[in-house]
Amino acid sequence: MKEFIQQLPKVELHLHIEGSLEPELMFKLAQRNHIDIPFASPEEVRAAYQFSNLQSFLDIYYQGANVLIHEQDFFDLTWEYLLRCQQDNVMHTEIFFDPQTHTARGIAFETVLNGIVAALNKAEQELGITSQIIMCFLRHLSEDEALQTLELALPYKDKIVGVGLDSSEQGHPPEKFSRVFAKARAAGFIAVAHAGEEGPALNIRNAIDLLGVQRVDHGVRCVEDAALVEELKQTRMPLTVCPLSNLKLKVFQHMTEHNIVELLRQGLCVTINSDDPAYFGGYMTDNFLAVSDAHSMTHQELAQFTRNAIEASFISATEKARMNAQVDSVVARFSA
């Protein structure tokens, strides 16, 4: 099973590029940019990654991002993530970035975006990995600040496929951002949002109805509303689930209690993703392995996670067909 999971072609739809900052690169960039960090070694950084909930993670995650200053830093960050994608047979990835985490520190929007884009372009040429970029608004900040960030993004519309919503879900429900999402959609951006990670099922419903999202990030608390689960199933609304993240942030206490396999078997469009892999203990293959170790699954069921992600991705029908053929070929090889 391990070999099958390693070889299985994958598509990632929920990855915060700032969350792929490994402690070793954090150290290197801190030295290169003369930035003080409150740790003596990468091992000490890793030891500090003990989280009790989403907020306890976010506090450390925003602090870690302080070492990212120059375009080259954002390039290095993104390139290291893409090398992990290559190792894990990720064919396509749709990554989030949080512009406000950087513009609030005086880093220009285009410095961040240019570094990320340069690495993604190199990966397409040299590794054959395709990608899209989604810009997230930080929901603990105001809607006016999100509107200002949307203005900054308009000149780069050709490089950013959509907008998302992340950070602290508790106390910052989707409806706080209905104006900025309407404006973004009118400008041609696709919408997604984190909902139903720590917040209630109602946030999932409101993200769909009030923000017009085409995917729900996390969404695992949908099970608290049976009618909503039925609707998600009927509409094939994708959920970008992040198993290791959910364990680390105590959304579930144990992987055997995670509902992703049950939702898959009910016919929902659930997908496996890594969220913030440097903080949560694993990239795509690790997430697949963790789910498969805790739940007895067939090759076809595991492959269905990738088929769902292909269906849920923001790419052309031609690209989707090409990726589905790659999945077919690996499944056939392992059933021979």
- Which residues here bind Zn ion, judged by CB under 5 A? 275
Which of 212, 118, 215, 104 shows the shortest CA–CA distance to 159? 118
The least CB distance from residue 166 to ligand HPA, in Å, is: 4
Contact with ligand HPA (CB under 6 A): which of 149, 167, 304, 306? 167
Work out whether strand 190-195 and strand 10-16 pair parallel, antiparallel, or are unpaired.
Answer: unpaired
The least CB distance from residue 149 to ligand HPA, in Å, is: 15
Considering only residues 262 to 291 of the shown chain, the ones binding ligand HPA according to CB under 6 A are 275-276
Structure tokens at 225: 């509303």
For Zn ion, the closer of residues 22 and 98 by Cβ is 98
Looking at residue 172, its amino acid is H
For ligand HPA, the closer of residues 202 and 315 by Cβ is 202
Selecting among 18, 22, 169, 197, the annotated active-site residue is 197
Binding mask 212-251 for ligand HPA (x = CB under 6 A): ---------------------------------x------
Is 194 assigned a ligand-binding role in the annotation? yes
- Does the annotation mark 197 as catalytic? yes
For Zn ion, the closer of residues 69 and 112 by Cβ is 112
**Secondary structure (DSSP) of 95-149:** EEE-HHHHHTTT--HHHHHHHHHHHHHHHHHHH--EEEEEEEEETTS-HHHHHHH
| 47: Cβ contacts below 8 Å, ≥ 6 apart | none
CA–CA separation, 147 and 208 (whole Å): 20
The least CB distance from residue 246 to ligand HPA, in Å, is: 9
For ligand HPA, the closer of residues 73 and 275 by Cβ is 275
The least CB distance from residue 174 to ligand HPA, in Å, is: 13
Residues 98, 19 contacting (CB under 8 angstroms)? no
Of Zn ion, ligand HPA, none, which one does residue 12 interact with (CB within 5 to 8 Å by kind)? none
CA–CA separation, 73 and 71 (whole Å): 5
Distances (CA, A) of 264 to 79, 181, 241, 278: 32, 29, 11, 26
Residues 160, 187 contacting (CB under 8 angstroms)? no
Is 194 a binding residue for ligand HPA by CB under 6 A? The answer is yes
Residues that bind ligand HPA (CB under 6 A): 16, 19, 54, 166-167, 194, 197, 245, 275-276
Q: Which residues are annotated as a binding site for substrate?
A: 276
Q: Which residues are annotated as a binding site for Zn(2+)?
A: 14, 16, 194, 275
Which of the residues are catalytic?
197
